[in-house]
């Protein structure tokens, strides 16, 4: 019994260590690496590249996420287990790569545009804690860049009604449209939520003014376009083997009053074509779709590949969250490097948290079944003792029956009597001594009156003897009662055994589980 308990405790400990810690080490240790290290040739040094980690769509859960009451226990639990997954991903899967730059592609909050200032600030503090940004910015030289998403500032129809949400975003994350340079590559970040809005609005006009200013600065430096909303692609366009969900076709919804956009999952075809013609990027990075997709766009000046990244959260519809590693060249094109070769990408996948929790449930059920049905020394002893007691009882019963039959045979004779139900009974005949026979013969000679009296007396004796005594029925009822009590005792004993084993496993592994939770949650 204790061997089984020890074995299950070890299995649970290994499972918890893998699900809560080792699984998040796999990308940085085994399954993913910087692309420039994979394609390194002679004469190329690691310092020739800027290392960029790209993350998108954390969408921190809040009161708008699951229709749960604000500050309720259920919402708090859902938030914690979503947050701890992303924090572990950041600490154990992304930061071990020691990136020079961390790039976020939008949707940091779930209900960002509709949250009050107090709720928004609380979500911001969670966001910075989850991704360890306070420590990263203070202790390293890592640069961090942000891109606005629709869950941060809303769509065009929302901008005209609540313009203060844009000011709130820009006050914390910086401008919506801007340009920065990493290595020998320019990155162009735009507010994709405004490119399809009416141009007479201030938000849309500022975005297009920025794009046209970038187009006027003609340069040979390769460019990467950053947009939260993916560019237009035709319906049912294949997304490549790395996508896990079905393709979502173009959807655009506009307000009835002013025809401003209230939802879109792709930039419109006209806006896409104009962006590509003006910026002429060698690569496009986007998010918003929550799943991976790689497509190639054609425009007047050539082709460009777009990588849509999946969400980093396991609660946003993607069972296999992901992030991307970018190697940006420090070499100029005059060194023989092509525009497309100036930046290379690798998509990295994170643990499937849903499967981990399903395995926890299956292992719990398996533990109960093993404890209930695995034979133990106590089981064998109990079974042997029961067989011994039944054998002793049968032996005593057979000896008693044999003695009774022998005594009855000595006393007289038996005859078979069949009752109305078809059952046969052995009836003992009264013994007749010689004196009794003489008296009966004399009585018969004296007349019928004496004969009738004797007959009545004889009939009364027969009636008393005909009452059956079913010894086997009494024995069977007693046996059933004892068997029922024995089964109840076995059930109670097994339940106590299960409780004892589960308690021991919990006492060993629950502290381990809590230690891993708090180890990952505290600031580092």
For the chain, list residues with pLDDT below 70: 40-44, 46, 333-340, 375-389, 392, 396-482, 484-485, 524
Output b/e per residue, 145-184; b: 16+ Cβ within 10 A.
Answer: bbbbbbbbbbbbbbbeeeeebbebbeeebeebbbbeebbb
Helix, strand, or coil (residue 174)? coil
Q: What angle do CA 29, 31, 37 make, to 5 degrees?
A: 80
Q: What is the distance between the alpha carbons of residues 46 and 33, in angstroms, rounded to a whole number?
A: 13
Q: Which two tokens stand for residue 55?
A: 């993350």
User: What are 113-125's pLDDT values in tens digits?
Assistant: 999 999 999 999 9
Q: What is the dihedral of CA 241, 244, 247, 253, to 10 degrees?
A: -140
Q: Residue 238's pLDDT is what? A: 93
Length of the chain measured in residues: 524
Q: What is the distance between the alpha carbons of residues 149 and 57, in angstroms, rounded to a whole number?
A: 8
Q: Residue 219's pLDDT is what? A: 78
Q: What is the CA radius of gyration of the chain?
A: 43
Q: What is the distance between the alpha carbons of residues 165 and 154, in angstroms, rounded to a whole number?
A: 8
Q: Residue 429's pLDDT is what? A: 59
Residue 178 in contact with residue 167, Cβ under 8 Å?
Answer: no
Q: Residue 462's pLDDT is what? A: 45
Q: Which two tokens stand for residue 188?
A: 């162009």
Q: What is the distance between the alpha carbons of residues 229 and 285, in angstroms, rounded to a whole number?
A: 9
Q: Residue 341's pLDDT is what? A: 77
Question: Measured between alpha carbons, how far is residue 161 from residues 59, 79, 168, 483 in Å?
Answer: 23, 29, 14, 78
Which pTM was predicted? 0.78
Residues forming a β-bridge with 55:
104
Cα 124 to its chain centre, rounded Å, is 26
Q: Residue 338's pLDDT is what? A: 67
The residue behind tokens 């009636």 is 463
Q: What is the distance between the alpha carbons of residues 292 and 27, in angstroms, rounded to a whole number?
A: 17
């Amino acid at each position: 019994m204790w061997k089984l308990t020890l074995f299950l405790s070890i299995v649970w400990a290994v499972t918890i260590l893998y699900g809560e810690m080792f699984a998040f080490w796999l990308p940085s240790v085994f399954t993913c690496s910087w692309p420039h290290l994979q394609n390194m040739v002679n004469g190329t040094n690691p310092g020739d590249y800027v290392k960029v980690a790209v993350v998108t769509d954390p969408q921190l859960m809040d009161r708008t996420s699951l229709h749960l009451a604000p500050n309720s226990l259920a919402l708090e639990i859902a938030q914690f287990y979503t947050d701890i997954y992303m924090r572990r991903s950041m600490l154990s899967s992304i930061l071990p790569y020691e990136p020079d730059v961390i790039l976020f592609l939008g949707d940091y909050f779930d209900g960002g545009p509709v949250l009050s200032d107090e709720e928004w600030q609380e979500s911001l503090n969670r966001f910075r804690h989850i991704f360890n940004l306070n420590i990263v910015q203070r202790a390293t030289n890592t640069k961090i860049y942000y891109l606005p998403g629709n869950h941060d500032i809303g769509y065009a129809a929302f901008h005209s009604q609540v313009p203060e949400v844009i000011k709130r975003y820009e006050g914390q994350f910086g401008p919506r449209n801007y340009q920065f340079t990493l290595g020998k590559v320019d990155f162009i970040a735009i507010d994709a939520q405004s490119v399809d809005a009416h141009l007479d609005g201030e938000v849309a006009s500022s975005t297009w003014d920025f794009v046209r200013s970038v187009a006027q600065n003609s340069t040979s430096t390769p460019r990467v376009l950053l947009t939260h909303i993916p560019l237009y692609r035709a319906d049912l366009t294949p997304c490549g083997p790395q996508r896990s969900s079905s393709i979502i076709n173009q959807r655009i919804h506009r307000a009835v009053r002013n025809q401003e956009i209230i939802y879109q999952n792709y930039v419109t075809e006209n806006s896409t074509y104009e962006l590509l013609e003006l910026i002429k990027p060698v690569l496009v990075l986007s998010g918003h779709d929550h799943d991976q997709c790689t497509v190639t766009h054609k425009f007047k000046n050539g082709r460009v590949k777009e990588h849509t990244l999946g969400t980093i959260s396991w609660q946003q519809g993607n069972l296999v969250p992901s992030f991307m590693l970018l190697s940006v060249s420090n070499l100029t094109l005059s060194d023989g490097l092509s525009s497309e070769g100036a930046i290379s990408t690798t998509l990295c996948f994170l643990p499937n948290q849903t499967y981990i929790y399903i395995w926890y449930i299956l292992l719990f059920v398996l533990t109960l079944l093993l404890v209930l049905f695995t034979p133990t020394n106590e089981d064998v002893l109990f079974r042997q003792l029961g067989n011994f007691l039944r054998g002793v009882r049968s032996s005593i019963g057979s000896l008693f029956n044999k003695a009774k039959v022998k005594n009855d045979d000595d006393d007289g004779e038996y005859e078979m009597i069949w009752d109305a139900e078809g059952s046969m009974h052995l009836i003992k005949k009264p013994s007749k001594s010689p004196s009794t026979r003489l008296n009966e013969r004399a009585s018969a000679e004296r007349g019928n009156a004496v004969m009738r009296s004797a007959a009545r007396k004889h009939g009364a004796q027969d009636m008393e003897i005909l009452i059956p005594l079913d010894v086997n029925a009494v024995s069977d009822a007693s046996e059933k009662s004892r068997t029922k009590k024995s089964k109840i005792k076995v059930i109670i004993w097994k339940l106590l055994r299960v409780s004892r084993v589960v308690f021991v496993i919990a006492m060993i592994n629950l502290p381990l589980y809590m230690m891993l939770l708090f180890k990952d949650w505290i600031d580092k």
